[in-house]
Homo-oligomer: A and B are copies of this chain.
Amino acid sequence: MDLKDFLQQEDFILKCQWGISMMNAKLQMINAELSMRYGRKVIHSYSNRIKSYDSIAAKLRRKGLAENAEEMEKHVNDVVGVRAVCTYTDDLYRIAEMLCAQRDIRLFKKKDYIRNPKKSGYRSLHLIFQVPVSFQEEVRWIKIEVQLRTGAMDYWAGLDYQLQYKKENREAKNIGKELKAYANAIEQIDSKVLELRKRIEAI
């Protein structure tokens, strides 16, 4: 089916929103449980998006695939995305574990870009889940990418994202290098902040 038409179908959008609302409910409950356990707010902000036609088409092209709904469903795992931003790195892994322990969703793929950052310097923990969506008397499994990040990783990623649309430019290449170098500084903040928190807790 034509990709653009497919993405505009009301029932496709409904299924995506269904998945988002289910995943958000899970994240909120995990946040409530952990916040209660540790006596501090664990997840600081939530966001979500359905990938735009332009981004999906570009991704299919980069992978050398045809631009249609079938290829998208097979090969694009982040059409539906949910993001949670925390303060501390260890909380990210704890949330990931708790998501994986949920029996009604299945982990499809895990990409740990915190331990293995992307070339660009990008760091985040990505989990792709398959989530059951009840729609018109049948259950369909849709993929949802959950991105877990610290605040520090998040604003690094924000800069990187703004840069992406200007990549051809020479100055952009310079900034890109600098940003990459800067990823290390960001990582050190995360470590330092985590270390301080652990020492405070140990008092």
Contacts and interface: CB of A to CB of B under 8 A. Distances in A.
Interface residues of A, number: 59
Contact of A200 (B21, B45, B159): B159
**A contact face: mostly helix, strand, loop, or mixed:** helix
A32 B44 contact: no
Interface in A25-42: 25-26, 28-29, 32-33, 36, 40-41
Given A137-B101, A200-B172, A33 B45 contact: no
Interface in A119-146: 132, 134-137, 139
A58 interface: no
A178 to B, nearest CB: 7
Nearest to A168: B203
Contacts of A47: 41
A8 interface: no
B101 A169 contact: no
A88 to B, nearest CB: 8
B18 A36 contact: no
